[in-house]
Structure 1
Amino acid sequence: MIAFFTDWGNDSYYVGVCKAVMKTINKNAEIIDVLHDTRKFDPKINAHILYRFSKDFPEGTIFLSVIDAGVGSSRKPIILKAKKRNFYFVAPDNGLLTLVAEEYGIDKLIEINNEKYYFRKRYSTTFHGRDIFSPVAAYLSKGVPIEEFGSEINTINLFRYKAPEIKNDAIEGEIIFFDTFGNVQTNIPAELGETLFKKDDEIMIHFENKKFKAYYERVFSDVLPGELLIHPESSGYLEIAINQGNAKEFLELSSEGVEVVLRKETY
């Protein structure tokens, strides 16, 4: 199975062409379009998204992930074979694989430089998705050993982020992305929330010298329409949301990467 993830959008031919390349190489390849309308050019945000959806895929999945503003530059095209779940990640080495590398471990890293497995000998400098990444994913799905694709390397680029932690009876973390409903996704694991908060607790949300009151709940309808809540979302992290509203707009958040503190209100 190939899980296909890009920032190309669905209003161009790029996704379709890459799927055609994969099918040309392996007509039996099962290709799942995970997401193509995501934050463009941003490997950090998309690293969190990649890790979250990867958890729901079966063992042995090949993740073809092309968020690649540096296409054609000195950044490497790579394959990461994970220690856990026999996952393969085909991607640019620009930090996009930070979280999957940390969470699943690295069994082997390969720089893709064997042009035998490129789609074209005269490959495009701006469309490695078609000419390098897609054919490599397809050949992997046919059982070609990872060592065939190029040279083994020892390290990849990783980005820094605010690791979640409990500090002074509060949870500190980071706002990492917003979904299509305007729900605010944090990198705080739900189990960390469970250590300090219980249902119906009033929680103060602190960020950028602002603070807002929310309720710690399980589902949106635990609060009235228009009220703010914090709850464990489906991939196991704390989400800040508004019942039938847009939390991003309500909190006046303009960008991701903001540090956030959640503290139980006491009286």
Structure 2
Amino acid sequence: MSIITLTSDIGLQDYLVGAIKGQLWQYCPECTVMDISHHISPFNLPQATYICKSAFTYYPPGTFHCVLINLFDRKSDFVLLAHHNGQYIACADNGLLTMIAGGMPTAVVKLYLDKAAPKNTFTILKRFADAAKALASGKSLTDLGALTQDFHVKNNLQPLTGQDYIEGQIIHIDSFENVVVNITRQQFEAQRKHRKFRIFFRRDEVIHQISETYADVAEGQKLALFNAAGYLEIAINKGNAAGLFGLRSFHRDQLLQHTGFQQLSYYQTVRIIFE
């Protein structure tokens, strides 16, 4: 049976991830269950997109990806299953599907939920497991439902560009507190046009070159590089870039309105000036 991956914003503090795996093995005893991440920040779809896209590309065709993120963003009687780039992506109808696919997926069907069952993580997972089992038995996507384009669409967070600059948002901070920005190498080179550049991530912090590895600078020194997923990363060799420089990615506190003259004590954008 094909691989089933799990990505969620559940965390590992309680029983849920273990129970989810147990449920999957009950319904699909021959499946191989792989964790991608359970530490997606709540409501952080740009981070979820970055993690999913960067991981999914390494899995073989036919892999079934269960994306258990922001499952109850909208009240719905169905979830989505897409076939895209040879793999299956199952998620809620919350806009994340088109963000992961970078546009409209190749094919999408609606998986309707049992009206008599409570709407919770386990009933949704059972629906995903039933679909994965059906596909593994030889059924096609259209055997599970009619193709549709009637679902919630959201676009990826894109960097701002001008004639002499590109400005990106911080979308992820890893366990070493390296900072990932939504500027890809391709976007950088297209905007750069062989010009010199300066990378600003605070008013008084500037980087003038792109490194290949962390070891290109002395221990404790800042650097910028393009990581294995192809995204710009701000780091400190054997240090803590996010904490030291006050850098922060999207957080649900941003959903609150800041009024008056309150100043935020962290930075969330990185600007590259071309000269």
* TM-score > 0.5 by shorter chain: yes
Equivalent position amino acid for 1:60 in 2: G
- In 2, distance between residues paired with 1:8 and 1:138? 24
- What is the identity, as a one-letter code, of the residue corresponding to 2:109? I
Shift in CA distance, 71/130, structure 1 to aligned 2, threshold 3 Å: farther
Instruction: Please say which of residues 217-226 and 147-156 is displaced more in the overlay.
Output: 147-156
- Contact between 1:226 and 1:244, CA under 8 Å: does it hold in 2? yes
Following the alignment from structure 1 to structure 2, what is the Cα–Cα distance between the partners of residues 140 and 17? 23
User: Aligned partners of 2:74, 2:232: CA distance in 1, in Å?
Assistant: 37
Bigger mean CA offset, 6-15 vs 55-64? 6-15
Answer yes or no: is 1:37 the counterpart of 2:39: yes
- TM-score with structure 1 setting the length: 0.81
Whether 1:217 and 2:227 are equivalent positions in the alignment is no
Separation in 2, partners of 1:9, 1:134: 21
The answer (yes or no) to whether the contact 1:65–1:90 under 8 Å persists in 2 is yes
Deviation at 1:31, TM superposition (A): 1.6
Q: Counterparts of 1:101-120 in structure 2 under 5 Å?
A: 101-102=101-102, 105-113=104-112, 115=114
* Aligned residue runs from structure 1 range 166-205, under 5 A: 167-194=162-189, 196=192, 203-205=198-200
Alpha-carbon distance between aligned partners in 2 of 1:211 and 1:226, rounded to the nearest angstrom:
17
Which residue in the other structure is 1:55 paired with? 57
Q: Please tell me whether the aligned partners of residues 159 and 168 of structure 2 are also in contact (alpha carbons under 8 angstroms).
A: yes
Whether the aligned pair in 1 keeps the contact of 2:7 and 2:35 (CA below 8 Å) is yes
Deviation sequence 1:176-222 (CA, Å, 0-9, x none): 11111111111211233346399xx7733146xx3521242111111
Q: Is the 8 A contact 1:186 1:238 kept in 2?
A: yes
Aligned equivalents of 2:118 and 2:77: distance in 1? 15
Deviation at residue 167 of structure 1 after TM alignment:
2.7
Once residues 77 and 177 of structure 2 are traced to their aligned partners in structure 1, the CA distance between those partners, rounded to angstroms, is 33
Output the amino acid matched with 2:44.
Answer: D
Number of corresponding residues = 253
Answer whether contact 1:64 1:89 (CA < 8 A) is retained: yes
Aligned-pair CA distance for 1:59: 1.7
Give unpaired runs (5+ residues) of structure 2: 252-267
1:27-63 CA distance string (max 9 Å, x none): 2212211111221343332122111111111122111
Distance 2:139 2:35 in 1: 22
| TM-aligned CA distance change 1:112 to 1:211, over 3 Å | farther
Residues 40, 133 of structure 1: CA spacing in aligned structure 2 closer, same or farther, 3 A cutoff? Answer: farther
- Hey, what's the Cα distance between the residues in 2 that align with 1:125 and 1:114? 8
AA at the equivalent of 2:164 = D
What residue is the counterpart of 1:118 in the other structure?
Answer: none
Aligned counterpart, 2:100 = 100
Inter-partner Cα distance in structure 2 for 1:244 and 1:197? 32
- Mapping for residues 104-253 of structure 1, pairs under 5 Å: 105-113=104-112, 115=114, 122-127=116-121, 128-164=123-159, 167-194=162-189, 196=192, 203-206=198-201, 210-214=203-207, 215-253=209-247
Shift of 1:69: 4.6
- Quote the offset at 1:159 in angstroms: 2.8
Aligned mates of 1:260, 1:15 — CA distance in 2: 35
Q: Which runs of 5+ in 1 are unaligned?
A: 116-120
Correspondence list, 1:69-80, <5 A: 69-70=71-72, 73-74=75-76, 76-80=78-82
1:66 and 2:68 are equivalent in the alignment: yes
Q: Percent identity?
A: 25
* Cα distance between partner residues in 2 of 1:40 and 1:114: 24
CA distance in structure 1 between the partners assigned to 2:66 and 2:42 by the alignment: 16
The letter for the 2-side match of 1:54 is F
Query: Residues of 1 paired with 2:220 and 2:193: CA distance?
Result: 22
Contact 1:213 1:228 in 2 (8 A): no
Report the TM-score when normalising by structure 2. 0.79
How far does the alpha carbon of each residue in 1:205-250 deviate from its partner, in whole angstroms, 9 at most, with x for none?
A: 146xx35212421111111222211101011111111111111112
Query: More deviation in 105-114 or 177-186?
Result: 105-114
Deviation at 1:64, TM superposition (A): 0.8
Q: Distance in 1 between matches of 2:221 and 2:61?
A: 40
What is the aligned partner in structure 1 of residue 271 from structure 2? 261
Query: Would the alpha carbon gap of residues 37 and 129 (structure 1) be closer, same or farther in structure 2, given more than 3 Å must change?
Result: farther
